[in-house]
Amino acid sequence: MEVKVLGAGCAKCNQLETLVKQTLQELGKEVKVDKVTDFPTIMSYGVMSTPALVVDGTVKVSGRIPSVSELKIMLS
């Protein structure tokens, strides 16, 4: 599984990264979470508003922080 958090380092971007790592730990998954801050790369995913979460190359959420229950579904 490949997990990326897209964002320029804003508070919400950092919050999403932390939440994703905590959720993966709760699910018992040892997955590296990559943080992407490069705007051309972020835009290559079609993301116009951050933070965004990409799982296995697919944008799962953009522009908001999902709930823990939503994250568990996205990361299962």
Contact 65, 19 (CB under 8 A): yes
Query: Choosing from 10, 43, 68, 73, which is the catalytic residue?
Result: 10
The verdict on whether 41 is a catalytic residue reads no
Quote the CA–CA distance of 39 and 29 in Å, as a whole number. 28
Query: Choosing from 5, 6, 13, 55, which is the catalytic residue?
Result: 13
The two structure tokens encoding residue 26: 């709760």
The verdict on whether 13 is a catalytic residue reads yes
Please list the active-site residues: 10, 13
